[in-house]
């Protein structure tokens, strides 16, 4: 997440910084890590995909002895606390202290790029390059996912048009259409109008491509065979008898897999300081698991001493899912976690602010920082429950005072007994993260006690309740609407022995976005439970989940421009 | 258009043929034409985009002394007569007779690839490679167009949500959404449902990306500056006072141009025999001009002795538009036209068949062939009206008898007094087109008498009536609905001094798809006239125009598959 919105006017824009750097050919960047030019499919000089046979070779020939560092954050303000910047900066910092390191992050989605964020390739002196390509079409993965998602929709509705041999219940279609654009008017629609030639009328809607189960599938699959298998079992509807109808039932498995065959290959680019960076996949951290592809993590951990990988949102969302879903599926263990905090976010919790007023966070306010510690502390506690060492990174923003930053570090060291470091990777690149990298090196040396939070063999309710009470701090769980019936049906169908993927707001540790700090005396409200059978988990919906955002009053898109020579502006 | 549906079982599939060919690095393919590796942005080893500064250099340093050969066809059966195959084969045939030649064709759309066609990269031994990439995501141009198109839609509907400062009339929105999928249920929809957070409810619909004005814009623009200028003036709606609202008014010009900056660069690949092939852009030949990008044609005609370029559908659609719109805008002149005919299509007209029964065309029927000549003759006559020499190519299908083919050639030579040649490029590659290439060489030597059919200074009605009577053979034109009012408004707005882009069925020379041969005693019915202000022409709608097709009962997608090693099947 970019922090450039906080940069003073004297600092060049992210794009200007990116343009000022002389990039090296991507083949040179990865060569010392054991990837030859023949292992790559180049997209221009600075972007490449790693071929699947190269990955197979690496996973066979080498061992995964790289240390895995996970980057997550406290409950953020809507502007984010700089997890991507920290991830990129940390990779560079490890290189600066003489360690081989790779980073792995998610691909930006055009929705937020044109909406609030304007870009998601890091920021300042900790960016991945070429940032303008990565923020736009990149190597086409998200476009491929959009097309593949909508091919399923098209095949499904064509099945109705051609006579509905499968007896699909028109009110039980569970597969929406997808678009990579923050286009709120597509959330709820009526389709199939205009008479017989327009197909069968029904309610339908769109989700952002990042929220598609196909995105989750792509980020968990490890081969073409695996992606086909996962795609085939995705449930798209139920028939008149209540039986699931899958992608395979509507004859779309092969064509969907064909559309995804290139997207499956991890992308590799470089950071501003020449650290290789895998940028691959970008699932939502609410209705999916929210981390870059497992395949990128796996290959990267076979190539380097350190892999720094990012999970979306806080310990309650991306990190919990990384440990309970991704590590379980991928047989991986994080060796250390860095929890990104900011003075701004601490004040936001300390001032118990909702809706957020970012301007009010600009002034020094040690009391507010201190009152915000409870949120930070809960995230630390959550991460420690998985048995992994935690180092707090205080991502410094221009308005932060020394006193504020020192207060946070002092608190972590003396109250929590854990390491903490100021991080200035936005303004100073890798050098700004050396202290943090050194502390993480030590932390990662300790014997890992990693363990997922729950066993998949527990009942669905037990798994939900474990996450709710242990991680979110709720008193318990209430089931509303059809949630009880969903759980019973899933159990009867034998779909209960998989992890749960909790869908919850990122604005609060609770399911109520307005509650800051560590909410107490509350009960998690579960509204629906449904299978992501292709991904291999159950999605548990709590509160309202926005799977298709809208544009704000002043969208980033409105400020973008391009000169006749191709120089762009407004991306950051 | 693929002809493989006609291939006997003994012949390998298009994909098998494509896989059997050893491709050369694209850098080697284009080097002898004056393009160095530095002029290219490579997408893997076999696909590249030509950089814009290289194009500028070529257009400045070299002269356009290449001969321009246009490929068009008679009124086709729904399976097509093989224009793309002929175009690709001709390029190869010119090489075989020792001439430098390049070809230029359109990019396939995923809609038809997954629908009826299964692919659109030529067929048999006259294909462009890598066919599976070209048929799928290729270099991402169409995905970029889809995203750019929908960014405009999103910005427009967000304008409503944010208060509608421009006073846009919700019933006068003229910009639909786009999708590259034959998804009929999206043709007519209601969007913006679900209460206030879902935006303003209104009727909305989707078109195929190939039908987007942005596709036409991309195919006519010659620089980033030009594309920005064209995008800015696209009319997306009218306000409460009836005044046009443009892309620029809704602040989307810059961001849309940014999304299109890579798509603007022409793609170059190779044919099976190593002829360089520009594959760039793919506008509909009904509501747009239906030919590959002007930029590809321009650069190609500066690089080679011969450029073979294809126009969609018949002389009444793609060819008329190529000459009246593209050549006018690009200051180009075709030196010769080859009109692709087939025994099958002649019988289809001779048997006055509607709806088509393709099986009934399999048996020898000289009488039907002869009765079909009137359609062929009218297309020849149409092309001759532009002052260009015509050579008929009889694209041979496996079931055609020698007698049938000879009857066609004899007719052209003795009755029409023009050259004709059998073309076997599908089964024999370039060698199967040598006779045709030689005849075209002679034809292209004659002094060009090229002239567009009408002057842009004529009134809108005069332009429409000229095309209707001269090319379609109608007795006149009737204006229905708002067409008269449209014409009056456009004239008042001063938007009348541009070419007309006629939207008409390709199933008939008339506006009634059921009429074969050369319909007489009919009047063209014009329903609507609207400006494509970015492209620079007026679209004239006649009959029902399907801008978003649907999938058939047995979509090509249902037969596609991929092996664990990445080998695909079902693409042809």
Q: Nearest to residue B146, comparing CAs of B69, B215, B98? A: B215
| B chain contacts of residue A180, beta-carbon cutoff 8 Å | 147
B513 touching chain A per CB within 8 A: no
B79 is in an annotated binding site: yes
Q: Nearest to residue A373, comparing CAs of A345, A403, A414? A: A345
Cα separation, A338 vs A352, in Å, equals 25
Smallest Cα distance from A255 to chain B, Å: 5
pLDDT tens string A346-377 = 999 999 999 888 888 999 999 999 999 999 99
**CATH assignment of B460-542?**
3.10.410.10
A398 touching chain B per CB within 8 A: no
pLDDT tens string A511-534 = 999 999 999 999 999 999 999 999
pLDDT tens string B196-244 = 899 999 999 999 999 999 999 999 999 999 999 999 999 999 999 999 9
Asked whether the CA dihedral A262, A264, A265, A270 is positive or negative, the reply is positive
DSSP for A334-374, please give it. Answer: -SEEEEEE-HHHHHHHHTT-SS--GGGGSS--HHHHHHTHH
A258 with B551: Cβ contact below 8 A: no
Closest residue in chain A to residue B144, using alpha carbons only: A137
Statement: B152-250 belongs to CATH 3.30.1510.10: yes
B51 is in an annotated binding site: no
Cα separation, A212 vs A468, in Å, equals 24
B55-77 b/e with 16+ CB inside 10 Å = b?
beebbeeeebebbbbbbbbbbbb
| A chain contacts of residue B224, beta-carbon cutoff 8 Å | 562-566
CATH topology match: A152-250 vs A460-542: no
Smallest Cα distance from A165 to chain B, Å: 12
Positions of chain B with pLDDT lower than 70, given as ranges: 1-10, 118
User: Which of B154, B200, B560 shows the shortest C-beta gap to A255?
Assistant: B560
B567 touching chain A per CB within 8 A: no
Positions of chain A with pLDDT lower than 70, given as ranges: 1-10, 118
Q: Tell me, what's the pLDDT at A9?
A: 52
Task: Respond yes or no on whether ipTM tops 0.90.
Answer: yes
CA A440 distance to own-chain centroid: 22
User: Which of A44, A110, A190 shows the shortest C-beta gap to B189?
Assistant: A190
The residues, ordered by sequence, that sit 6+ positions from B269 with a Cβ below 8 Å of its Cβ are B26, B46, B47, B48, B128, B129, B130, B134, B276, B277, B279
Cα separation, B36 vs A418, in Å, equals 58
At the topology level, CATH places domain A25-140+263-445 in Rossmann fold (3.40.50)
A34 touching chain B per CB within 8 A: no
Tokens of A453: 């939070």
Tokens of A565: 């020579």
User: Which of B181, B186, B562 shows the shortest C-beta gap to A228?
Assistant: B562
Q: Nearest to residue B126, comparing CAs of B82, B170, B77, B165? A: B82
**How is chain B split into domains, by residue range?**
25-140+263-445, 152-250, 460-542
Q: Tell me, what's the pLDDT at B5?
A: 43
Tally of CA atoms within 13 A in the half-sphere of A440 that contains its CB: 35
Residues 337 to 356 of B: which have CB under 8 A from any A CB?
none
Q: Tell me, what's the pLDDT at B487?
A: 97
B41 with A44: Cβ contact below 8 A: yes
| B chain contacts of residue A109, beta-carbon cutoff 8 Å | none
User: Which of B186, B202, B261 shows the shortest C-beta gap to A191?
Assistant: B186
Smallest Cα distance from B113 to chain A, Å: 10
Q: Nearest to residue A348, comparing CAs of A479, A228, A194, A508? A: A508
B137 with A147: Cβ contact below 8 A: yes
Disruptive mutation site among B144, B153, B255, B569 for chain A (greatest number of A CBs within 10 Å): B255
B182 with A154: Cβ contact below 8 A: yes
Cα separation, A426 vs A5, in Å, equals 12
B251 touching chain A per CB within 8 A: yes
User: Which of A253, A259, A557 shows the shortest C-beta gap to B151?
Assistant: A557
Characterize the bridge pairing of strands A206-208 and A177-179. Answer: parallel
């Amino acid at each position: 997440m970019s922090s450039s919105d906080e940069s003073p006017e004297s600092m060049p824009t992210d794009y200007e910084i990116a343009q000022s750097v002389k990039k090296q050919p991507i083949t040179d960047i990865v060569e010392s890590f054991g990837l030859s030019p023949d292992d790559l499919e180049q997209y221009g000089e600075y972007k490449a995909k790693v071929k699947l046979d190269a990955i197979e070779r690496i996973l066979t020939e080498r061992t995964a002895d790289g240390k895995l560092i996970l980057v997550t954050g406290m409950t953020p303000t809507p502007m984010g606390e700089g997890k991507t910047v920290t991830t990129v900066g940390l990779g560079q910092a490890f290189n600066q202290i003489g360690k081989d390191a790779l980073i792995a992050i998610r691909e930006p989605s055009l929705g937020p790029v044109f909406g609030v964020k304007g870009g998601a390739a890091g920021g300042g002196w900790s960016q991945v390059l070429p940032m303008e390509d990565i923020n736009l079409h990149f190597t086409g993965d998200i476009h491929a996912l959009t097309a593949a998602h909508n091919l399923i929709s098209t095949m499904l509705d064509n099945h109705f048009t051609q006579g509905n041999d499968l007896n699909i219940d028109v009110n039980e279609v569970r597969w929406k259409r997808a678009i990579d654009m923050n286009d709120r008017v597509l959330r709820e629609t009526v389709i199939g109008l205009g008479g017989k030639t327009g197909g069968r009328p029904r309610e339908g809607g769109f989700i952002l491509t990042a929220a598609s189960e196909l995105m989750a599938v792509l980020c968990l699959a490890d081969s073409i065979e695996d992606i086909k298998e996962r795609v085939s079992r995705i449930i798209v509807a139920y028939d008149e008898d209540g039986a699931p109808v899958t992608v395979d039932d509507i004859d779309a498995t092969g064509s969907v897999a064909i559309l995804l065959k290139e997207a499956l290959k991890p992308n590799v680019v470089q950071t501003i300081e020449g650290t290789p960076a895998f940028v691959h996949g970008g699932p939502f951290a609410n209705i999916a698991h929210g981390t870059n592809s497992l395949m990128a993590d796996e290959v990267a951990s076979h190539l380097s001493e350190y892999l720094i990988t990012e999970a979306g949102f806080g310990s309650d969302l991306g990190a919990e899912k990384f440990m309970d879903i991704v590590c379980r599926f991928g047989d991986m263990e994080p060796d250390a976690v860095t929890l990104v905090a900011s003075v701004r976010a601490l004040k936001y919790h300390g001032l118990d602010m909702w809706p957020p007023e970012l301007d009010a966070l600009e002034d020094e306010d040690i009391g507010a920082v201190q009152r915000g510690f409870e949120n930070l502390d809960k995230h630390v506690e959550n991460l420690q429950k998985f048995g992994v060492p935690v180092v707090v990174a205080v991502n410094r923003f221009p308005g932060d005072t020394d006193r504020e930053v020192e207060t946070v570090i002092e608190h972590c060291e003396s109250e929590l007994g854990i390491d903490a470091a100021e991080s200035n990777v936005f303004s100073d690149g890798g050098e700004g993260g050396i202290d943090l990298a050194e502390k993480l090196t030590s932390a990662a040396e300790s014997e890992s006690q990693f363990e997922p939070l729950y066993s998949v063999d527990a009942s669905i309710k037990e798994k939900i309740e474990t996450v709710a009470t242990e991680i979110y701090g709720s008193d318990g769980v209430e089931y509303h609407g059809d949630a009880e019936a969903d759980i019973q049906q899933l159990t009867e169908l034998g779909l209960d022995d998989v992890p749960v993927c909790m869908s919850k707001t990122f604005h609060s540790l609770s399911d109520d976005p307005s509650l800051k700090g560590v909410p107490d005396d509350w009960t998690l409200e579960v509204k629906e439970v449904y299978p992501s059978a292709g991904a291999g988990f159950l999605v548990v919906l709590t509160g309202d989940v926005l799977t298709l955002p809208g544009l704000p009053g002043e969208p980033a898109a409105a400020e973008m421009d391009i000169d006749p020579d191709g120089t762009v502006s407004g991306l950051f």
